[in-house]
Structure 1
């Protein structure tokens, strides 16, 4: 299995190693450690957009992306080179793990730049004005991909039904565009109380670690079952 793991925190260290390290980097490292303990031969690609952000979308990028591939000149191809590499990584992966802290109620700008680079007409979503009904369609649907979102928040109550759930634009800000591409099965774990730095934060971290303990074996089993069902469908036509 191919796993794409994306870290987006501006903090370079992990909170289990440094006093002011990143909780989301801690969660992504913990997820991969648990996964590799069970499936050591799976391939992991790490993409650190927090420390090495993709170039943001520009007018030249839009022009190149919406030009048919056979009509692009060398300058257009160069403009899309980084985006092509990011799309290739996404398409090659069955499991996408995104570690995304909350910055001012939304995702880090570096992660938004990644999303803008992988939402690509003709590569990850289709568009045809002459198509009957809906002119858009997801190009990555029905291929068994799963998404895991690992978050961290300074305050508390941002989860579903929480006191600040209406202000949480992180998880849906990621999940909605990826569902648009066809990646619509999502698991979410988040740490809260970071700004309080007291027993509540310690409890939230412990709860997140316990959720990882449960998530990894369940996800492995579900993805294995899904892959087996796909093989059966292929064999039986």
Structure 2
């Protein structure tokens, strides 16, 4: 009888854990320019291990409204509450996508733009000194519609984009980077979901793409619930410091679960 009771207690405990995990919000990760969904691998592995459902969306990097609509359709297909996370230009996309999506309960900006309506990523990047991205860009690639795709020069990618990532890993990131259109970085923001959805921010103080002072400005303006500064981290803080980024996402999730 004691053995049976002990077995039932274990089963009940396991069921309780499984039930708690199933009640977690879904985490949707949106990458930025010059990156792809694999940039979230370290963060996704931690979240998955901790029982969260994770989706690393493939951001088209074509334009704020178009990319926002693309992510919004994904959000509309999800039934559980969502924590929406964006990196770099992906912050512009999540700000656009989350507006009007009732299941999005929190926004997490990871070295990301949080533009107000009418602002662009490029315009914000020039608000404070410090970005050295411009001179590292390769000659634009002409597109059929008259637009241009932008890449970072492969030989400058490590120092500019991912200085605190091991050289071999950064090299692969450079080789597999996805371009963003010039128009996307200059497109005025239409919607700003951070004005009414709680937000969290994290960035590295050695970021060379976006001036760290800009992150402080945007987090203050958004009345962020929490702002984390990672000493010595580059623009890809989620690659070099996945635990810190995952911890912040889970902190946002816990507030939603209350």
Query: Please, what TM-score do these two structures have when normalized by structure 1?
Result: 0.41
Give TM-score scaled by structure 2 length: 0.39
Q: Which has the higher contact order (CA 8 A, sep 6+)?
A: 2
